[in-house]
Amino acid sequence: MGFGLIVAISLAWLGRIILMLLFAAIVVAALLTAVVEWLGEKFKLGRRVSFPLILCAAIGFVGLTVWLSGAGIIAQFADLQTDLPQAAHQLMERINQYGWGRWLILQWSDYSQLSGNVSSALTRIGGIVLSTATLLSGIVLIGVLGLYLAAEPEVYFAYVQRVTPAAYRTRLNACAAAAIQNLRWWVLSQMLSMTAVGVIVAVGLWILGVPLAGLLGMIAAFLTFIPNIGPILSVVPAVLLAVAISPTKGLLTVLLFLAVHFLEGNVITPLLIRRIVRLPPALTMTTQLLLAVLAGPLGLALAAPMAAATLGVFDVLVPIEGVDRTESHRED
């Protein structure tokens, strides 16, 4: 028993990236199955009709977006790769004009080396975003796996049930149902948050006259998927480009992001959806730090949905007094 556990842990460690990709596919499948079930209930459509309908609509939307905006998005990424290092250099030059800025810069041994390092780092980041095929292949792999899982979820879950002792299958079903339910509501709330943040940030930056407002709004939307850390990261490129124009625009950009995320978290999303899965901030950050160490950026991105699924399982294994989650899921 102990040897088997050691072997299982060793295999999980060696294949941790694969397991993270599989979990990402489960997140995609959870969202797709939720949409399929909603269509089935709303329009009385079976899975054999609703699933291909959703798939065709998604492929059509992505294809139309790439056809209409693909070239423009790639061009804006190329501009961002060039503009960010220049903006960082201009920021260092602007700081150098003030006494406190010169004092701060003197704390480093070589200002030109510092400025060069910042510009080099930003250029490297831009190059990674533009040239890395790993990211695109990972997204394609997650999408394909998610489609397979969403097409026949009961088939794949049946294999998990078969390797589970019969005495624990009822508990397994309840845990899986609670985890999927939490995942669905968390992903739905995040999708609404991402859309709201992306649109408002893009419009706000356009009003402020910050270049590449549409692309910066898109970056802010995608990074909103990562709680706590994502919103902070999304501010950096926008503020750098704004400060390169004027310090006032930089300050207004920071205030814009603060206002957007405050409205999104406290007004917009709660009004649009009632059953939001709110994760305790300390739990989310702890999970993010742990998975970032174990699986790198992929673990960081998937920490929040994994925490949401884990909370669902925890609610079943350690139920509130007087509430039997196993029985309720069995009835469903």
Reported as a single tens digit per residue, the pLDDT across 157-206 is 999 999 888 888 999 999 999 999 999 989 888 888 899 999 999 999 99
Query: Among the three residues 130, 163, 196, which one is the final residue of a domain in this structure?
Result: 163
182 and 315 housed in the same domain: yes
Task: Supply the pLDDT for residue 275.
Answer: 65
The reply to whether 10 falls in a domain is: no
Rg of the chain on CA atoms, in Å? 23
As a whole number of Å, the end-to-end CA separation of the chain is: 35
Kindly indicate the confidence band of residue 51, based on its pLDDT and cuts at 50, 70 and 90. confident
Of the listed ranges 68-82, 301-315, 318-332, the one predicted with least confidence = 318-332
The domain in which residue 50 lies consists of: 16-163
Task: Supply the pLDDT for residue 252.
Answer: 94
154 and 60 housed in the same domain: yes
The reply to whether 5 falls in a domain is: no
Above 60 in pLDDT, residue 60?
A: yes
Kindly indicate the confidence band of residue 124, based on its pLDDT and cuts at 50, 70 and 90. very low
Q: What is the DSSP string of 179-210?
A: HHHHHHHHHHHHHHHHHHHHHHHHHHHHHHT-
Q: How far apart, in whole angstroms, are the C-alpha atoms of residue 210 and residue 277?
A: 34
Angle of helix 99-106 relative to helix 111-131, nearest 10 degrees, comes to: 80
Kindly indicate the confidence band of residue 130, based on its pLDDT and cuts at 50, 70 and 90. very low
255 and 330 housed in the same domain: yes
Of the listed ranges 119-133, 176-190, 278-292, the one predicted with least confidence = 119-133
Q: How far apart, in whole angstroms, are the C-alpha atoms of residue 164 and residue 190?
A: 33
**For residues 24-46, average pLDDT:** 86
The reply to whether 7 falls in a domain is: no
Model pLDDT for residues 70-118, shown as the tens digit of each residue? 777 778 777 787 777 778 777 777 777 776 666 666 665 444 444 444 4
Task: Supply the pLDDT for residue 221.
Answer: 93
Task: Supply the pLDDT for residue 207.
Answer: 94
The reply to whether 9 falls in a domain is: no
The reply to whether 61 falls in a domain is: yes
151 and 198 housed in the same domain: no
224 and 290 housed in the same domain: yes
The reply to whether 65 falls in a domain is: yes
32 and 91 housed in the same domain: yes
Above 60 in pLDDT, residue 59?
A: yes
143 and 209 housed in the same domain: no
324 and 177 housed in the same domain: yes
Query: Among the three residues 115, 131, 163, which one is the final residue of a domain in this structure?
Result: 163
Above 80 in pLDDT, residue 246?
A: yes
Q: How far apart, in whole angstroms, are the C-alpha atoms of residue 92 and residue 112?
A: 9
| Alpha-carbon separation of residue 181 from 30, 194, 238, 240, 306 (angstroms) | 8, 20, 35, 40, 12
Q: What percentage of the chain carries pLDDT values higher than 70?
A: 82
Structural domains in the chain (count): 2
The reply to whether 8 falls in a domain is: no
Torsional class of 90: left (φ above 0), alpha (ψ -120 to 50), beta (otherwise): alpha
| Alpha-carbon separation of residue 27 from 21, 34, 121 (angstroms) | 10, 11, 32
Arithmetic mean of pLDDT over the chain: 80
105 and 205 housed in the same domain: no
327 and 202 housed in the same domain: yes
Task: Supply the pLDDT for residue 302.
Answer: 92
Contacts 24+ apart (CB under 8 A), 120-123: 120/85, 122/84, 122/85, 122/88, 122/240, 123/81, 123/84, 123/85
Above 50 in pLDDT, residue 231?
A: yes
131 and 31 housed in the same domain: yes
141 and 194 housed in the same domain: no
The reply to whether 11 falls in a domain is: no
Task: Supply the pLDDT for residue 330.
Answer: 45
Q: How far apart, in whole angstroms, are the C-alpha atoms of residue 194 and residue 221?
A: 4
Looking at this protein, which amino acid is placed at residue 54?
I
Query: Among the three residues 163, 186, 211, which one is the final residue of a domain in this structure?
Result: 163
Tell me the two tokens of residue 131: 């040239």
* pTM of the model as a whole: 0.79
**For residues 34-38, average pLDDT:** 86
